[in-house]
Chain A
Amino acid sequence: MARTQLQTEDEASTGEPKRRVTRTTWFFVVLAVASGGGLAWRDGPGAFVDALGSAGMLLVYIGPVIAAALLLGGYVHALLPHDRVARWLGPESGWRGYGIAVLGGVVTPAGPFAVFPILMSLRQAGAGFPVCVVYLTAWAVLGAQRTVIWELPFLGAHFVALRLVASLPVPIVAGLLAHAVARRVSP
């Protein structure tokens, strides 16, 4: 019950009405028309047709991955024990809490719809600023769903491996910095 309520709030806070064609869609339409027009004007219509073909191929390849990954995100969202997560990361969790925060960030679905409401309930359950920063940072740079849907198909496994290893220190540095300023943030 609580979860359905949460989702309605999410939709409200994106500021986007429940229409198929939103302002963000128009942004992409305008961008596509402008860049496509620019390309056709500079390199001729053939170049534009060629670009259209490449984009179409990419769509055919990543379409099934995206559809499956969205369903995966749905399952993670439905199965994640929100209240228990808040307890795991609460004020008494200590170092274990930071480890769980990193793992939690990795498995939390991509998109702001899940991560920010979870963070809000963490704050309400008494989680400190550093553990919240570690969670948010781990979600941003190590999040598995975004990496699998978007990064792996576009940039390849070799680059993904390099970026993930390079990003491993990021949540740790973020946690240390957050620890240093925590008193100024939380009352």
Chain B
Amino acid sequence: MSFVIAFAFVGVLLGGLAGYASLRRPDAHREAFASAHGYFWNIAPRLPFALVAAECLGRLLPPDVVSAWLGAGTGVSGVLIGSGVGAALPGGPMLAFPLAIALMRAGAGPEALVALITAWALVGINRTLLFEVPLLGMRFAIWRLALCVPLPIVAGAVAGALVGLGWWSG
């Protein structure tokens, strides 16, 4: 069902932007297709393997270990472990999100998963080395990373509070 929602959402935005481009900037069509084509061939060869890997890794994870470390009842320690795992997770969303769903199925709690995804999104060490350091400088990258350390814990704590208020039913 969420696929349908996602597709509809993207479709509506795409229609809006393409319509705007037709009216105001017709040359944007060619640019948009060119850059989408580039990204597509970047992702297409990897995606099937990434999905198979994440599916198999998820089945290999022992559910008792996952729920003991990241389960719904683990509270602060689950958020801290989730933040650590997320910060250490290499690669792009192709691996992170399928792995997150595998962890969810294996019993990880929502607050630990929020911390994990936040930490992964903020740290992304290969992204920092390939883009942030060369384009913005070492000083910027180090300070930015340093002040991002507490943020996954903030997000995890807010998620935990929301879950405590009854925002999560499964």
A112 in contact with B50 (CB, 8 Å): no
The contact of A14 among B40, B47, B93, B130, by CB within 8 Å, is: B130
Q: How far is the CB of B155 from chain A (nearest CB, A)?
A: 5
A28 in contact with B17 (CB, 8 Å): no
Q: How far is the CB of A59 from chain B (nearest CB, A)?
A: 6
Per-residue contact bits, chain B 146-170, to A (CB 8 Å; 1 contact, 0 not): 0110110011101100110001110
Q: Roughly how many angstroms separate A186 CA and B84 CA in the complex, as a whole number?
A: 29
B32 in contact with A78 (CB, 8 Å): yes
User: Which residues from A are CB-within-8-Å of B155?
Assistant: 141, 163, 166-167, 169-170
Indicate the size class of the contact surface on chain A: 35 or more
Q: A47 with B122: in contact, given A7-B38, A32-B50, A141-B155 (CB under 8 Å)?
A: no
Q: Roughly how many angstroms separate A176 CA and B5 CA in the complex, as a whole number?
A: 35
Q: Roughly how many angstroms separate A39 CA and B62 CA in the complex, as a whole number?
A: 12
A116 in contact with B158 (CB, 8 Å): no
A178 in contact with B34 (CB, 8 Å): no
Q: Which residue of A lies closest to B20 (CB)?
A: A79
Q: Roughly how many angstroms separate A24 CA and B93 CA in the complex, as a whole number?
A: 13
User: Which residues from B are CB-within-8-Å of A150?
Assistant: 93-94, 96-97
Indicate the size class of the contact surface on chain B: 35 or more
Which residues of B1-41 have CB atoms within 8 Å of chain A's CB atoms?
2-3, 5-7, 9-11, 13-14, 17-18, 20-21, 25, 28, 31-36, 38-41
Per-residue contact bits, chain A 43-57, to B (CB 8 Å; 1 contact, 0 not): 100011001101100
A116 in contact with B31 (CB, 8 Å): no
Which residues of B34-61 have CB atoms within 8 Å of chain A's CB atoms?
34-36, 38-41, 43, 45-57, 59-60
Q: A15 with B147: in contact, given A32-B49, A79-B20 (CB under 8 Å)?
A: no
B2 in contact with A152 (CB, 8 Å): yes
B162 in contact with A71 (CB, 8 Å): no
10 contacts between A and B (CB under 8 A): A28-B53, A36-B56, A62-B3, A69-B10, A72-B13, A75-B17, A146-B121, A157-B2, A163-B118, A166-B155
Using a CB–CB cutoff of 8 Å, the interface residues on chain A facing chain B are: 3-4, 7, 11, 13-15, 20-21, 24-25, 27-29, 31-32, 35-36, 38-39, 42-43, 47-48, 51-52, 54-55, 58-59, 61-79, 110-113, 116-117, 119-120, 123, 129, 132-133, 136-137, 140-141, 143, 146, 148-159, 162-163, 165-170, 173-174, 177-178, 181, 184-185
